[in-house]
Amino acid sequence: MSAGARVAARAGEPLLDRTIGDQLRAQAAARPDRPALRWAVDDDPAALQTLTYRELLLAAEAAAADIASRARPGQRVAVWAANGPEWVIVEYASALAGTILTPFNTAWTDDEVAHALALVSPRLLFAGSDSRGVDLRARAAGLVSRTPRCDPVDLDTVATRPRPVVWEPPDVRPYDPFLIQFTSGTTGRPKGATLSHRAALNAGQVRALTFHADEHDVWLNPVPLHHVGGSVVVVLAALASGASYVTMSRFHPADQVALMRATGATRTGGVPTMFRALLDIPGFDEALASVRSVGLGGTSVPPSLVERLQAHGATVSVAYAQSECPMITQSDPAGDAVHVATTVGRAAPFTELRVVGAAGDTAARGEVGEVLVRSPLTMIGYWDMPAATDEVLDAEGFLHTGDLGSLDEHGVVRIHGRAREVVIRGGENVYPIEVEDVLLRHPAVAAVAVLAAPSDHWGEEVAAVVRLATPTSATADDLAGFAAKSLAHFKIPSQWRFVEDFPMTAAGKIRKAELLALFSPDS
C-alpha cells in the first residue's frame, strides 16, 4: 500500500485466459457427469431436473448452432424473461456463437424496452414470461416489429435435451465482448456496460476463489439473470469452479427454503429484503445447515440482519460491485456483524483502488471521496456511447464509480453515499433524474426532486418532493399512475410530499439533503 487512500493490486490465483465457451467445454471434458444446471419444474422441488456438464454443453451447442444460423459474431442476442434453464442455455449458446448477450429487465415498460432496442439493435430477442408469470412474447413481437432486422424468438423453443448437432463454431477470443449489461446513468437513460468474456468469466472465478468454492458446491440464488449479480457473479462462479447452479424463476421464501433443502444448496445470496423473509420461514434453519456462505449486497445491510443469520450458523459477507466492474471488494466472511454490515471489505485480487477528492488528488486514509477502480474485470466501455465511456474511464484505466467511499489503514473500504444519487430499492438501482424527467412531463408538475428515503423493508424507497403549478391540481395517486406509463414499477415513488418552494443553492439547484427531513418519522 502506498501513502494515502490507495491500495495496490495484489496477486491471486492466475486469471483464466479463455472464453466462456472454452470454460464450458473444459468443464464438460473434466467432469462430464457432474451436475451443472438444476431447476424445479413449475417451481415444485419434488420435480427436480438436472443437466450434467456434458448435457449442458450439448444443449448450449444446439442453441448456438441455431443462433449462428441467424446472427453473426458480434451481433447482439437479447433475452427478456424470468430465470430458467432456457435462459442459462441461451447465455452459454450466445458465448459459443460469438454473439453478445443482452439481458432486458422484465419489469421494463415498453418505452424502456424500445430505448434498449434502439441502442443495441439486437438481431434476436428471446422472450418468455416474467417472474409473475406474465407472458412477454406478444409485447416483444410488437416492439421488434419497429426494430430493423430483429427477430423475436420464443424462449420455450430452446431445448434442454436436444440431439447432438454438427456445426462450425466461430473463432471467439477472450477479449471479445460477451455481455451488454444495462445500468442507469446520470442522463436518466440506461447505458450498456459491455464486458468481455475474460472480464465476466474471471469475475465469477474471483468470486468462487474468494469464497473458497469448489466443484462440490451448489449455488442457489434467485437474483434475476438480467442483473450482473445473476448472469455473471453467480452463474459464472459455478462454471469457473465446476459446481452446480440452481435456477429459480422468482423469489418466493417458502419455495426457496424447500429448494435449498432439496438440492443441498451450499452457496446462496441476495438482497437483505429476501433474507428477512427467509428467516421467518419454517425449515430455514435446516436449509442453512448445508450452506457454506451467504452473500449480501445491492443495498444497505443492517447489522441486526447479519447477527440473525450468523446466529443461525451462516457465514455472511457483503460484496461491492457495479455493472461496469462485477467484482470490486468483498468483506471478510469471518468478520463480526458490524464489520460485515458497515464495510464492503477489501479489494478483490488484481484490483487497484483509489479514493480521490474533488480535485482528483488521492485522499487521506479515512477521508471520504470518490472510489476509483482499476481491474481486469472492468468493462470495455458503454455500448455505442463513447462520450459516456470517456466520462467514467480515464486515461490511466481507472473506472470512476461515482460512489463516495473511504479507505482505512487496514485497506477496508466503507461506502458513504452515492455521488450519482442512485436509490437502491431492494437491490434495484433507480436514478432520480430518470424519474424526475418523467414526472416533469405531467402538466401539473412545476418542479420535482426525487431522492432516497430510508425503508426498513427495502433499505431505501423512491421518494418524490413536488411543487405543483397550481395547488391541488394533482394528487400523489395521479402522479404515480402517470409515472407507471413510462417507468418500471420499482422506479415509481412510494412516498410523496408537496411543497410550495424548494430550498435552493446559490447556483439555483435544489438542496436535496434538506428535503430528507420531510420523510423522517416525525415529519
Strands (E), 76-158: 76-80, 100-103, 124-127, 151-154
pLDDT of 1 reads 39
Question: Are 182 and 103 spatial neighbours (Cβ–Cβ below 8 Å)?
Answer: yes
Quick one: pLDDT at residue 312? 86
* pLDDT tens digits, one per residue of 163-203: 999 999 999 999 999 999 998 543 457 899 999 999 999 99
Residue 512 banded pLDDT, cuts 50, 70, 90? confident
pLDDT digits over 246-301, tens only?
A: 999 999 999 999 999 999 999 999 988 889 899 999 999 999 999 999 999 866 67
Q: Kindly report the average pLDDT of the chain as a whole number.
A: 92
pLDDT at 522 over 80: no
Per the CATH hierarchy, to which homologous superfamily does domain 6-159+173-407 belong? ANL, N-terminal domain (3.40.50.12780)
The answer to whether the 6-159+173-407 and 423-519 domains have the same CATH topology is: no
Give the other-Cβ count within 10 Å of 253's Cβ. 17
Query: Residues near 271 by Cβ (< 8 Å), separated by ≥ 6?
Result: 223, 296, 297, 298, 299, 426, 427, 459
65-72 average pLDDT score: 98
C-alpha distances out from residue 171 to 18, 88, 175, 270, 372, Å: 12, 21, 12, 36, 34
What was the pLDDT predicted at 523? 67
Is 207 in contact with 221 (CB distance < 8 Å)?
no
Residue 302 has pLDDT above 80, yes or no: no
Residue range 110-130: mean pLDDT, rounded: 96
**pLDDT confidence of residue 84:** 97
Q: What is the 3-state secondary structure (H, E, C) of 414-462?
A: EEEEECCCCEEECCEEECHHHHHHHHCCCCCEEEEEEEEEEECCCEEEE
Is residue 141 over pLDDT 50?
yes
Per-residue pLDDT averaged across 99-108, rounded? 95
**Residue 280 has which C-alpha cell?**
421467518
Per-residue pLDDT of 457-486, as tens digits, reads: 899 999 999 999 899 999 999 999 999 999
Spell out the alpha helix ranges (H) of 264-382: 272-278, 284-288, 303-311, 337-342
Q: Report the percentage of the chain scoring pLDDT > 70.
A: 96
Render pLDDT for 414-441 as a digit per residue (tens, 0 to 9).
Answer: 987 666 677 889 988 887 878 888 898 8
Least confident of 184-193, 309-318, 499-508: 184-193
> Which residues is 126 bridged to in the sheet?
79, 153
Q: Amino acid identity, residue 323?
A: S
Contact status, residue 74 vs residue 170, Cβ threshold 8 Å: no
Contact 249, 128 (CB under 8 A): no
Task: Quote the cell numbers at residue 301.
Answer: 445491510
User: What is d(CA 42, CA 84) in angstroms, rounded to the nearest whole number?
Assistant: 10
Q: Is the pLDDT of residue 511 over 90?
A: no
The structural architecture, per CATH, of the domain 423-519 is 2-Layer Sandwich (3.30)
Q: Which residues are within 8 A (CB) of 332 and not within 5 positions of it... i.e. 6 or more apart?
A: 317, 339, 340, 345, 346
Residue-level pLDDT at 146: 87
Angle between helices 53-68 and 85-97 (to 10 degrees): 60
CA atoms within 13 A on the CB side of 174: 12
Task: Categorize the per-residue pLDDT at 487 as very low, low, confident or very high, splitting at 50, 70 and 90.
Answer: very high
For residue 84, the SS3 value is coil
- Measure the CA–CA gap between 156 and 84, rounded to whole angstroms: 10
Q: What is the pLDDT of residues 361-399, one digit of tens each?
A: 999 999 988 999 999 999 999 999 999 999 999 999 999
pLDDT, position 33: 98
Range in 44-48, 100-104, 187-191 with the lowest mean pLDDT: 187-191
pLDDT of residue 507 exceeding 50, the answer is: no
- Enumerate the domain spans of the chain: 6-159+173-407, 423-519
